[in-house]
Amino acid sequence: MFVLVNVLDVLEGFFGELPSKATVLGLSREQIEELGELAMASASVLADDALDEPAVYPGGWLAGNWAKQLFRGDLNLALLYQPRLLVHDSLADFFFVGADNIPELTNMRGALGGMSVTRGPKIWAPSDSYVGMRDDLDAVRHLLARIIGYFVELAPLLRSGIVIARAQWPTIRRESAQILTSVRHDVRSPEMLKAVQSASLDGGLLPVWDTLRGMHVTPPGGFDPRDALLQWEPEYFYLAKTLAVANAAGAIYSPSTEDELRLLRAKSSRLEAAATREGHPVALLREVARVLVPDMQLDASTAVAIRQSESAFDDWRRSLRNLQKDTAHFTPDELRERVEDELIPEVRAIERLTSRSQAIRTVLKAESAATVISGGVATAVSLAMGQGWIGPTVGVGTGALSWLWKAYRPANLGGRQTVIASLIRAHNDK
């Protein structure tokens, strides 16, 4: 029996190949629902399989929205830092959502009586699902075209295992009782209450669902005092389902804001678990990206390339972690200055090592010079990664061209320099 192992297999099995946008837009309702059944069946099988190697799960805010252009920059930041990233299978999750499988949170009673506030995933999740959009077939087609198009674009990351896509709804449905039990315990915890109440706009606010942060609706006169503590149920639910999804895949939850990290530490403390787990250093990575990826467009091939040498990527990540520790209490301006001081000299040094001297331009023919110059960074990266490829001009012949190559060829790069060089090359090639 053929086993579908990821969403790309689902797409290729259904369409015969990775589809074009036009192909997806031409799907009938029957074909869409058949694709949904196939996606859900595959996702259900994968949901309980732990990954061979641990991945980092950033929570549903990024993992659930990574296929939206608005979140492309956030995904790129994560790819600059995390060796492997667990995200939601947005194709399967689009079809999974149904009123019969979404846990309900408590309705909040108003202090004045006669009014209550209903909130939680049962209200918020269906809006971006097939259940909520079924009557608008054209909207469904266009949403699927966007989701599938992004899977196709990032196919190299999915095939290499840098990005792993898993549906969250099989886990939420299976673990709903445990998730709601966790919520009830957190409602009674002074430590958890302190953590949610300390959340601020500067800290990023706490997500209440994959698409919502810090949204609280209060009826006139406020809540019934007996329900006051229940207002934080959505934040607790989000954390509990996040931990459940990470656990199902054998991944590690890495919060993306200080508020989320603070809440995780409060939860860890209650469970007598490790309370010092690091968060995802978003502020630092934004400054790093500003220097190395100014347009925030990290294409899939570059994201794969910076991991071709495991030791180089480990060195790169270790240097970022050390920088994060050193700048933990810096102001934004101080952080920017420190990152520039750290990276810009190294960028300039690498550019000197991997670029051709102006002398080559004047001695070689224009087309040869262009070949040497554009190949410089790629050559340095290839040599550093032990691939043995030494550039298009080497071996062409002997004489002046050979001498010039020997005189100006880039020195071998090592460690994090190979990662930086890959990013420089990708930016220069645009």
The angle at the Cα of 378, spanning 370 to 303, to the nearest 5 degrees, equals: 130
Q: Which residues contact 43 (CB under 8 A, 6 or more apart)?
A: 7, 89, 92, 93, 96, 166, 167, 169, 170
- Which residue type is seen at 338? R
Task: Tell me whether residue 349 is in a domain.
Answer: yes
- In this structure, are 206 and 337 located in the same domain? no
293 inside domain: no
Name the domain count of the chain.
2
CB 25 within 8 A of CB 50: no
* Co-location of 50 and 89 in the same domain: yes
CB 336 within 8 A of CB 287: yes
Distances (CA, A) of 415 to 18, 174, 308, 318, 390: 35, 43, 12, 10, 19
Do residue 61 and residue 207 come from a single domain? yes
Amino acid at 323: L
Last residue within a domain, chosen from 280, 297, 321? 280
Residues 161 and 250 in one domain: yes
CA pair distance 67, 194, nearest whole angstrom: 34
Does residue 302 sit within a domain?
A: no
Residuewise pLDDT in 10s, the chain (430 residues): 344 468 999 999 999 999 999 999 999 999 999 999 999 999 988 887 888 888 899 999 999 998 887 787 888 888 888 889 999 999 999 998 775 678 889 888 887 777 778 888 888 888 889 988 999 999 999 999 999 999 998 899 899 888 999 999 999 999 999 999 999 999 999 999 999 998 876 666 899 999 998 777 777 777 778 888 898 999 999 999 999 999 999 898 988 888 898 898 888 876 555 444 556 788 888 888 878 777 667 777 788 888 877 788 888 888 888 888 888 888 889 998 988 888 888 877 777 765 544 444 444 333 333 333 333 333 333 334 344 333 333 333 444 444 444 444 444 556 777 777 777 666 666 6
- The pair of three-digit structure tokens given for residue 72, joined into one six-digit string: 């492309």
Reduce the DSSP state of residue 207 to 3 states and report it: strand
Evaluate whether residue 305 is within a structural domain. Answer: no
Same domain, 44 and 147: yes
Residues pairing with 166 in the sheet: 88
User: Is 290 part of a structural domain of the chain?
Assistant: no
Q: Do residues 83 and 228 both lie within one domain? A: yes
On whether the pTM is more than 0.85, the answer is: no
H or E element: which one contains 209? strand 207-209
d(CA 171, CA 352): 51
Residue 276 and residue 316 in one domain: no
276 and 324 part of one domain: no
Which residue segment(s) compose the domain that 361 sits in? 310-428
Q: Is residue 131 part of a domain?
A: yes
55 and 16 part of one domain: yes
Q: Is 94 domain-assigned? A: yes
Asked whether residue 256 falls in the same domain as residue 317, the answer is no
Confirm whether 292 is domain-assigned. no
Q: Which residues contact 88 (CB under 8 A, 6 or more apart)?
A: 60, 63, 64, 66, 165, 166, 167, 168, 210
Is residue 247 domain-shared with residue 351, that is, in the same domain?
Answer: no
Helix (H) or strand (E) holding 117: strand 116-117
Helix (H) or strand (E) holding 252: strand 252-253
Strand partners, 109: 116
Instruction: Examine the domain organization and report whether 236 and 358 are in the same domain.
Output: no
| Identity of the residue numbered 185 | H
Tell which of 265, 280, 295 closes a domain: 280
